[in-house]
Amino acid sequence: MSASGPHVLVVGAGTGGLCLAQGLRRAGISVSVHERYRTRDEGLLGYRVGIGPTGSRALRECLPPELFRTYLATCARSPRYFTVITQRMRQTASFPLRPDTDPVNTERSVARMTLRQVLLTGLEDVVHFDKTLTRYEQRDDGSVTAYFADGSSADGDLLVAADGTHSAVRRQYLPHAVTRDAGTINIATRIPLTAEVRALLPERIEKGITLIFGTGGMMGVLHVMEFPWDRDGALKPGLDPADAALLERWPGRAHDSTRDNVNLVIWSTARRFPPDVMHRRGEELIGLALELTRNWHPHLRQLLAHADPDSALPIKVATSEPVPPWKSSTVTLLGDAIHTMTPGRGVGANTALRDAALLCRQLRLAAAGEKTLVQAVADYEAVMVPYGFARVADSLNRSGTSGDDRMYKPVVGRLALLGARGYFGVTSRVPRLARRFVDDFYTYRGEED
Ligand SMILES: Cc1cc2nc3c(=O)[nH]c(=O)nc-3n(C[C@H](O)[C@H](O)[C@H](O)COP(=O)(O)OP(=O)(O)OC[C@H]3O[C@@H](n4cnc5c(N)ncnc54)[C@H](O)[C@@H]3O)c2cc1C
């Protein structure tokens, strides 16, 4: 470690890695980020990610204040309802969500590509694209060298694996830390939001998050994403003038092609899908989604039929196995690289952001000479591992994201479906239970250290 403080190598310019880099830069700690994508626009990133209070709090802590305000201005309109419907579009339950007047304590809808462009803002000189990490070397003095597929390398005092579910760093550092197939498959689609598409959606669905509990173990989730810019990328009229000014001068807009759309994801146990599903793309994948939802309401099927073929994506859901404690060193991990979770509770990105803020806080103490670098890593890991793996476990038990869920069993499945619909129905109709449901939703999504 040089007299001017540690140099941190971050592998992976995803949600967690970039948030950490923003925080380190803000704290004056030297950082470089190494990303396998060739450019800042690459990757299938048009999908929604829900950022709750935990994630927004971490972003507020790590981003420069103006960039945090830009993040808020780039979010899609916040959902106003959480609604549960049947495959025939009958409403089982609907809960009003809190208004988005608070910058942090709100459920926000963010497009992955947009969030990435926000997080890259101001880091252009430290993010290196087309750098696929193949291995690293750690010396006795703790210093680390990362090696990349193009033959180049980078030296640092700390290596942070922020390289996602299939982390190459984790494979080398903690070979016993593995992920496993959760047994479910998603088909994600995006439907451009036209007047015709909007006409298919009742108000509570158009303005909210909608969970579809279908018969035969076929599930879905639908989000309508409306951004402050139109299909040409021009700012929509009627925006708050302060937001409009921020967006006008934000350079990330030039790299972001995200437009108003409906995200519709269907999922079920992997047994319901043909063996070649992970190789299907475009019309063929949309055709499969339509086949699997033959008994769904015509409006939901019309949505699928209008999906952008380039957006259709099969996702095999993975989950991390619990890891026994390890001895901390100058290599550490954050986000999916250490605790991949199913989308069951929608907190994977929030947890990656929480890790980034926590690690950043610890590294600031190390840079200030209040503890050693390894102690800072140990203190981070002592907090991150318990909450991270608790969320892995919670996520696996939710919304049928495990292929072993009762929902997918032949006879029991029907009872499980009736039970789930009954639970939501009763909860939404009894005001005390409905209030508690919404409070619990925010409490869970707002957990802090
Ligand atoms: C269908 C679905 C829906 C979801 N919805 C939500 C939600 O609503 N809310 C929520 O909080 N979470 C959600 N998640 C989870 C969330 O997407 C992830 O948990 C989050 O993106 C993890 O962030 P990360 O920074 O750890 O990894 P990532 O964002 O995956 O970033 C990893 C980065 O590392 C790069 N990389 C990989 N290997 C290498 C290498 N060898 N060398 C260099 N770079 C490398 C990748 O290209 C990538 O840019 C969802 C997940 C799925 C599958």
Give me 267's structure tokens.
């999922």
pLDDT at 352: 98
pLDDT at 1: 63
Ligand 1 closest atom vs CA 335: 26
CA 292 / ligand 1 centre spacing (Å): 27
315 lines ligand 1 (CB under 6 A): yes
CA 22 / ligand 1 centre spacing (Å): 17
Q: Which residues contact 149 (CB under 8 A, 6 or more apart)?
A: 36, 131, 132, 133, 134
CB 209 within 8 A of CB 199: no
Q: Is pLDDT above 90 for 46?
A: no
Nearest residue by C-alpha to atom 30 in ligand 1 = 164
Average pLDDT in the 356-373 region? 97
Q: Is 433 helix (H, G, I), strand (E, B) or coil?
A: helix
Nearest residue by C-alpha to atom 26 in ligand 1 = 335
320 lines ligand 1 (CB under 6 A): no
CA 165 / ligand 1 centre spacing (Å): 7
Inter-CA distances, 170 with 130, 136, 161, 321, 375, Å: 20, 11, 7, 13, 20
Ligand 1 closest atom vs CA 169: 41
11 lines ligand 1 (CB under 6 A): yes
403 lines ligand 1 (CB under 6 A): no
pLDDT at 131: 98
Average pLDDT in the 153-178 region? 98
Give the model confidence (pLDDT) of 314-341 as tens digits: 999 999 999 999 999 999 999 999 999 9
74 lines ligand 1 (CB under 6 A): no
pLDDT band at 399 (very low <50, low <70, confident <90, very high): confident
49 lines ligand 1 (CB under 6 A): yes
Percent of the chain with pLDDT over 70: 98
Give the helix/strand (H/E) hosting 22: helix 15-26
53 lines ligand 1 (CB under 6 A): no
CA 336 / ligand 1 centre spacing (Å): 6
Nearest Cα neighbor of 228 from 205, 253, 210, 204 is 253
Nearest residue by C-alpha to atom 48 in ligand 1 = 14
121 lines ligand 1 (CB under 6 A): no
Give the helix/strand (H/E) hosting 416: helix 412-429
Nearest residue by C-alpha to atom 28 in ligand 1 = 14
CA 14 / ligand 1 centre spacing (Å): 6
CA 64 / ligand 1 centre spacing (Å): 23
Distance of CA 248 to the CA centre of its chain: 26
**59-79 core/surface letters (b: 16 or more CB in 10 A; e: else):** bbbbbeeebbbbbbbbbbebb
pLDDT band at 173 (very low <50, low <70, confident <90, very high): very high
Give me 345's structure tokens.
């509770």
pLDDT at 448: 78
pLDDT at 100: 81
> Cα–Cα distance between 77 and 69 in angstroms, integer?
15
Mean pLDDT computed over every residue of the chain = 95
Q: Is pLDDT above 80 for 44?
A: no
Apex 302 CA angle, 346 and 281, nearest 5: 65
Ligand 1 closest atom vs CA 167: 38
Nearest Cα neighbor of 336 from 11, 24, 108, 47 is 11
Which of 34, 42, 49, 119 maximizes ligand 1 atoms within 8 Å of its Cβ, making it the mutation to test the pocket? 49
Nearest residue by C-alpha to atom 21 in ligand 1 = 349
> Cα–Cα distance between 363 and 380 in angstroms, integer?
9
172 lines ligand 1 (CB under 6 A): no
Give me 271's structure tokens.
């047994």
